[in-house]
A and B are shown apart, each in its own frame.
Chain A
């Protein structure tokens, strides 16, 4: 990938990221969305976060396969419980990394 290609790539990424952030703020500050759309959009964050997270925990390998035996899944259990009790983003990230690091060390 050349420098020009890379610049075009991040400008494109920036534009498609910025517009969904900007359009509702710019145009909806004096309007309200239909309640059906709001109900649907309200579920999207939980849906997307789960769709990003769960495959990372239970799939792996080349070619990609379903597996319950990766440390990613085991470490997720105490990490989830810690997040549930403390509601601390910084703490959860640090704990998750630490536990994963320990488990990887033990397994190697």
Chain B
């Protein structure tokens, strides 16, 4: 009995250790962004508890930033929820791609896993699963260790916000820098570069022409549709990473 317990402890330790070495760069990236979010949310009138609760229940960085700016602008609840849905719909692709590697996993664990699917954990886990020698439990650590870091960092920002002057330490740039790096991760082939150029150009035009945040989803859907049609028409059967 005692030996079993020890064996389990060692197993959990080994999984945590494996997951930790993949998760720490994500955690490091989340600390300044989380603090920046907490500061902005505090300036928008949210308490540290309200900030922590949003991080716990939503856990989706960019949509949390957008939600806070919409709260400050006095947007309606429906508009904020619709925008959150539109901004986070991309996780549908990530979970779909990851599902290929999680066939043996229980549905309870999948339900827990789903909560931590982000751009960052997806990028790391997808690469690890493709390389082989990666297991769902370590992947779960990669999903949830950054989650805990995010919640803690946003609450810290909420408390520290009143002591940090606006624009200090370049915190306003944390999210832009994260988007730059995540976009770089995506530019694996010319079709992604083309999609990014098209979507970025459309987003600029649409953001100037339309009120609200609809330009994000509109530009993305139009750009992806056009590029899929171009790739299909030119007859290039791409050996995609996704299959």
What 1/0 flags go to A33-77 for Cβ under 8 Å of B?
101101111111111111111111111000011100000100110
24 contacting pairs across A/B (C-beta < 8 A)? A5-B77, A10-B53, A12-B81, A13-B57, A13-B67, A20-B89, A25-B98, A25-B111, A28-B95, A38-B97, A39-B232, A43-B227, A47-B198, A50-B197, A51-B199, A51-B220, A54-B204, A80-B180, A97-B169, A97-B171, A97-B174, A98-B170, A101-B168, A101-B169
**Are B199 and A50 in contact, CB atoms less than 8 angstroms apart?**
yes
**Are A104 and B170 in contact, CB atoms less than 8 angstroms apart?**
yes
Given contacts A24-B95, A49-B182, A66-B208, contact A10 B170 (CB under 8 A): no
B16 CB within 8 Å of chain A: no
Stretch at the interface among B2-10, B156-164, B187-195: B187-195
Closest partner residue, chain B, to A63 (CB atom): B208
B202 CB within 8 Å of chain A: yes
B216 CB within 8 Å of chain A: yes
Q: How far is the CB of B181 from chain A (nearest CB, A)?
A: 4
Closest partner residue, chain B, to A29 (CB atom): B99
**Cβ-defined partner of B103 (8 Å) among A29, A45, A76:** A29
Closest partner residue, chain B, to A3 (CB atom): B50
**Are A17 and B182 in contact, CB atoms less than 8 angstroms apart?**
no
* A58 proximity list for chain B (CB < 8 A): 204
B131 CB within 8 Å of chain A: no
Given contacts A6-B50, A20-B88, A51-B215, contact A45 B93 (CB under 8 A): yes
Among A1, A11, A79, A96, find the residue whose CB has the most chain B CB atoms closer than 10 A.
Answer: A96
Compute how far the CA of A65 lies from the CA of B232 in the bound complex, rounded to whole angstroms. 36
Q: Decide if the interface of chain A is mainly helix, strand, loop or mixed.
A: helix
**Are A43 and B181 in contact, CB atoms less than 8 angstroms apart?**
no
Given contacts A14-B57, A43-B227, A45-B90, contact A79 B195 (CB under 8 A): no
**Are B176 and A41 in contact, CB atoms less than 8 angstroms apart?**
no
Given contacts A18-B115, A26-B114, A29-B105, contact A92 B180 (CB under 8 A): yes
Closest partner residue, chain A, to B62 (CB atom): A52
* A97 proximity list for chain B (CB < 8 A): 32, 169-171, 173-174, 177
